[in-house]
Amino acid sequence: MSAKIISGTEIAKAIRDELKEEVAGLKEKHNVVPGLVTILVGDNPASQSYVSAKNKTAHALGINSEQVTLPADTSEQELLALVAKYNQDPKINGILVQLPLPKHINETKVLYAIDPEKDVDGFHPVNVGKMVLGEQCYLPCTPHGILELLSRSGVKTSGAEVVVIGRSNIVGKPIANLMLQKRPAGDATVTLCHTRTKDLAAHTKRADIIIAAVGVPKMVTADMVKDGVAIIDVGVNRIGMSESGKAILAGDVDFEAVKEKASFITPVPGGVGPMTITMLMKNTVQAARQAAGLE
Ligand code: GUN
């Protein structure tokens, strides 16, 4: 069997088309234009490209997007003051501070300073707490995108054995939590594996769905999965540079070999990546609706 390739590029485009219409409707009916600010500290090339993609997408959808780029030696105080300024700015509905931050800045302190109502990343403890309780909140963008990929491609999750590899706050912990909840793309039996898991292959071999978010290129190999597994590959690993100077990317899964056994698989690039940015836009539109008292 060769797997059905889940195209994040296509699914993201469909959601973006829906959002574009929604943004146009907000302007026309309510004179509301969603506003997003992205804050980048330093010159990490991967972060620069993510932030510029976020701004480009926002503009394409009719969202007002401001990009603030600060030097790597910006102090924590300066960054906190900027966050406080945007917390008060009624034209800004969403504040995104790109991670990782330089070592001298306390990431937790900065994320906690963002008004939970403007926390379109879904990283503030108020939103994390609401997510765990299954309440209405901003869902973190990558897990939110994974839920959409699963439900829009018809992967059955109810009762499925899901193995998540990686326990980060951004992907592993939230996706494991969301998929065990009674919700679309949920109702699964979830195992969360990590670097101290004794026998990873023993877990992955019995999984109906594997979500790989470890940051190790091609770590999940064909001998580690069963026939018919559905694979969501969150890894974006730079494994080299092309002659034209573009980064060559690989996921956490050995795509070529595993696709021969899987029923569904996401490619890298073009899988989870485009969904993350799209769900940020969805959260920003939701933030604008809430700020305008429309929901
Ligand atoms: N760095 C890597 N992924 C993310 C993300 O989803 N949001 C932010 N703010 N930083 C990131």
The CATH number linked to 44 is 3.40.50.10860
Distances from the Cα of 252 to the Cα of 60, 91, 260, angstroms: 30, 39, 16
Catalytically active residues are 54, 98, 121
What sign does the dihedral 176-106-36-246 (CA atoms) show?
A: negative
pLDDT tier for residue 30 given thresholds of 50, 70 and 90: very high
Distance 16 CA to ligand 1 centre (A): 19
Does 148 contact ligand 1 (Cβ within 6 A)? no
Radius of gyration over alpha carbons of the chain, in Å? 19
Does 141 contact ligand 1 (Cβ within 6 A)? yes
In this prediction, residues 236-264 reach a mean pLDDT of 95
- CATH assignment of the domain containing 193: 3.40.50.720
State whether 49 and 85 are in the same domain. yes
pLDDT tier for residue 277 given thresholds of 50, 70 and 90: very high
State whether 259 and 224 are in the same domain. yes
State whether 106 and 149 are in the same domain. no
State whether 104 and 160 are in the same domain. no
pLDDT at residue 1 greater than cutoff 90: no
The pLDDT, as a whole number, for residue 86 is 98
State which ligand 1 atom lies nearest to the alpha carbon of 100.
1
| Crossing angle of helices 125-133 and 172-180, rounded to 10° | 30
What sign does the dihedral 72-78-83-85 (CA atoms) show?
A: negative
The pLDDT, as a whole number, for residue 295 is 81
Distance 24 CA to ligand 1 centre (A): 27
pLDDT in tens, 206-221: 999 999 999 999 999 9
Distance 77 CA to ligand 1 centre (A): 21
pLDDT in tens, 185-213: 999 999 999 999 999 999 999 999 999 99
Does 121 contact ligand 1 (Cβ within 6 A)? yes
In this prediction, residues 236-247 reach a mean pLDDT of 92
Does 96 contact ligand 1 (Cβ within 6 A)? yes
- Angle of CA points 25, 26, 31, to nearest 5°: 120
State whether 167 and 250 are in the same domain. yes
In this prediction, residues 135-155 reach a mean pLDDT of 98
State which ligand 1 atom lies nearest to the alpha carbon of 99.
10
Does 287 contact ligand 1 (Cβ within 6 A)? no
Q: Across the chain, what does the average pLDDT equal?
A: 97
Range of the domain at 90: 30-116
State which ligand 1 atom lies nearest to the alpha carbon of 96.
9
Q: What is the DSSP letter of 205?
A: T
Integer Cα distance of 34 and 23 in angstroms: 8
Number of domains in the chain: 2
State whether 152 and 190 are in the same domain. yes
What lies within 8 Å, CB to CB, of 228 at 6+ separation is 1, 208, 261, 262, 263
pLDDT in tens, 99-132: 999 999 999 999 999 999 999 999 999 999 999 9
pLDDT at residue 269 greater than cutoff 80: yes
State whether 76 and 176 are in the same domain. no
Q: Decide if 126 is inside a domain.
A: no
At residue 189, φ and ψ (nearest 5 deg) are: -95, 120
Distance 226 CA to ligand 1 centre (A): 32
> Which residue owns the Cα nearest ligand 1 atom 2?
99
Q: 93 exposed, middle or buried (CB, 10 Å; 0-12, 13-18, 19+)?
A: buried
% of the chain at pLDDT higher than 90: 97
State whether 193 and 247 are in the same domain. yes
State which ligand 1 atom lies nearest to the alpha carbon of 97.
9
Distance 160 CA to ligand 1 centre (A): 28
Does 99 contact ligand 1 (Cβ within 6 A)? yes
pTM as predicted: 0.95
